[in-house]
Amino acid sequence: MDILKPDADKAEQPASSKAMTPTGSGLNALSYVQTRVVPLRYDHLERNRIVAYNKNSNMGGAFDLLRTQVLKAMDENGWRTLAITSPTPEAGKTVLAINLAMSIAHHTTKTALLVDFDLRRPKVGSCLGLSMEKSLNELLSNQAELHDVLVNPTLPRFVVLPTREPIPLSTEVLSSPEVSNLIVDLRERYDSRIVIFDLPPVLSSDDVITVLPKFDCVLLVVANGVNSNKEIEESLHHLDGANLIGTVLNKAEPQNRTYY
């Protein structure tokens, strides 16, 4: 995985020990009371190409490099919300989003919150092997509070807001005031938090164009041998005006590198 075109407080405690007093209900008055802790199965993670959970493994080196470049650009601009998208499906954007969020969580001064905003084909929870009795589905339908749907997958400083099943009228949902309020709350709650949103592919619907202005910056994931030049150019056209932090070439052949 190579970067093709990168552009130029108070600490949050582990989610399982963070508690605040509720101040209201619904998306207009969000609060954290207790975050559910769900253990991960390493064999399931490895089958889904999630490698960054173990910060001592050399398999996560590419994601650590990406993390350093992304955080540098975000810190320089005061950005805290990052959208991740791709031109088309099967580019590996969700796997990359999960690994990047885990790598950020390993950073000693940052916490990471990963939100599944691919409302048409949500995959974050299934890739991690999370049980999702309550998720973004219940939050948006006012059947749960935010603290009910957040999950800490036993990795310090890493929290996930999964989506269990597709949400009808996704474009209308993403353009709603409730979603805008949710994004603002997740961004402003902690100064040290980086919030990553896994979005649908740019060319698959108008969801990305609808919600993109709500985020600080965006990362485009391009799959080697999958996305054509035309698809990449069309995606960049749709992302024009957004803060494109860089483009990642995914599924590329690894290059042998030595220290010397």
Domain containing 130: what range? 2-250
> What whole-number distance in Å separates Cα of residue 55 and Cα of residue 20?
30
Neighbours of 8 (CB within 10 A): 8
Reference 194, options 220, 164, 159; nearest CA is 159
Reference 119, options 205, 28, 49, 227; nearest CA is 205
**Is residue 260 included in any domain, yes or no?**
no
**Is residue 259 included in any domain, yes or no?**
no
**Is residue 238 included in any domain, yes or no?**
yes
**Is residue 36 included in any domain, yes or no?**
yes
> What whole-number distance in Å separates Cα of residue 58 and Cα of residue 183?
33
pLDDT at 233: 95
- Rounded mean pLDDT, 236-257: 83
**Is residue 204 included in any domain, yes or no?**
yes
CATH number, domain containing residue 246? 3.40.50.300
> What whole-number distance in Å separates Cα of residue 116 and Cα of residue 84?
10
When the pLDDT of each residue in the chain is averaged and rounded to a whole number, the result is 84
**Is residue 220 included in any domain, yes or no?**
yes
pLDDT at 218: 98
> What whole-number distance in Å separates Cα of residue 254 and Cα of residue 151?
33
**Is residue 257 included in any domain, yes or no?**
no
**Is residue 258 included in any domain, yes or no?**
no
Number of folded domains that form the chain: 1
Burial of 106 (0-12, 13-18, 19+ CB in 10 A): buried
pLDDT at 154: 86
> What whole-number distance in Å separates Cα of residue 37 and Cα of residue 154?
6
pLDDT at 250 over 60: yes
pLDDT at 255: 58
- Taking only the tens place, the pLDDT of each residue in 143-186 is 999 989 999 988 889 999 999 999 999 999 999 999 999 999 99
